[in-house]
Amino acid sequence: MKKNIWLMVLSIASIMSCQRSNSPNQIEAWTYKSQHKLRISAHRGNSGSAPENTLATFQKTLDMGVDFIEIDVRTSKDNQLVILHDGTLNRTTNGNGPISNLTLEEIKRLKANKSWEAQFPDERIPTLEETLQLIEKWNKQKNTKTYIYVDCKQVEPKPLLALMRQYHLDKESVYYGSDEFLERLKAEDPQSKRMPSLNKAEEMETKIKRLAPYAFDVNWLKMNAQLVKDIHKKNIRVYSDVLGPLDQALNYKKAKELGVDLIQTDHVKSVYRYFLGN
Mapped onto helix, strand or coil, the DSSP state of residue 216 is strand
For residues 202-206, give the mean pLDDT: 97
User: Phi and psi for 138 in degrees, rounded to 5?
Assistant: -60, -50
Residue 231 lies in a domain: yes
CA pseudo-torsion sign 257, 261, 266, 270: positive
Cβ pair 114, 89 in contact under 8 A: no
Strands 215-218 and 237-241: parallel
Mapped onto helix, strand or coil, the DSSP state of residue 75 is strand
Cβ pair 265, 275 in contact under 8 A: no
Strands 237-241 and 174-176: unpaired
- Residue 10 confidence (pLDDT): 41
Whether pLDDT at 15 is above 70: no
Structural domain of 67: 35-276
Distance separating alpha carbons of residues 262 and 265, to the nearest angstrom: 10
- Residue 5 confidence (pLDDT): 52
- Residue 258 confidence (pLDDT): 98
Cβ pair 66, 81 in contact under 8 A: no
pLDDT band at 165 (very low <50, low <70, confident <90, very high): very high
Strands 81-83 and 68-75: antiparallel
- Residue 23 confidence (pLDDT): 75
For residues 5-20, give the mean pLDDT: 46
Q: Provide the mean pLDDT of the chain.
A: 93
Give the amino acid at 254.
Answer: K
Residue 5 lies in a domain: no
Give the amino acid at 190.
Answer: P
Count how many domains the chain has.
1
Residue 47 lies in a domain: yes
Which tens digits make up the pLDDT trace of 228-277?
999 999 999 999 999 999 999 999 999 999 999 999 999 999 999 999 98
Residue 234 lies in a domain: yes
- Residue 9 confidence (pLDDT): 42
- Residue 26 confidence (pLDDT): 82
Residue 26 lies in a domain: no
Please tell me the total number of residues recorded for the chain in this structure.
278
pLDDT band at 278 (very low <50, low <70, confident <90, very high): low
Residue 30 lies in a domain: no
Mapped onto helix, strand or coil, the DSSP state of residue 169 is coil
User: Phi and psi for 262 in degrees, rounded to 5?
Assistant: -150, 140
Does residue 67 come out as left (phi exceeding 0), alpha (psi in the -120 to 50 range) or beta?
Answer: alpha
Give the amino acid at 172.
Answer: E
CATH number of the domain residue 153 falls in: 3.20.20.190
Instruction: Indicate the pTM of the whole model.
Output: 0.91
Residue 235 lies in a domain: yes
Whether pLDDT at 11 is above 60: no
Whether pLDDT at 13 is above 90: no
Which residues are CB-neighbours of 34 under 8 A, at least 6 positions away? 11, 14
Distance separating alpha carbons of residues 125 and 89, to the nearest angstrom: 10
For residues 164-176, give the mean pLDDT: 97
Residue 102 lies in a domain: yes
Whether pLDDT at 84 is above 70: yes
Q: For 118, which DSSP code? A: T
Distance separating alpha carbons of residues 138 and 63, to the nearest angstrom: 9
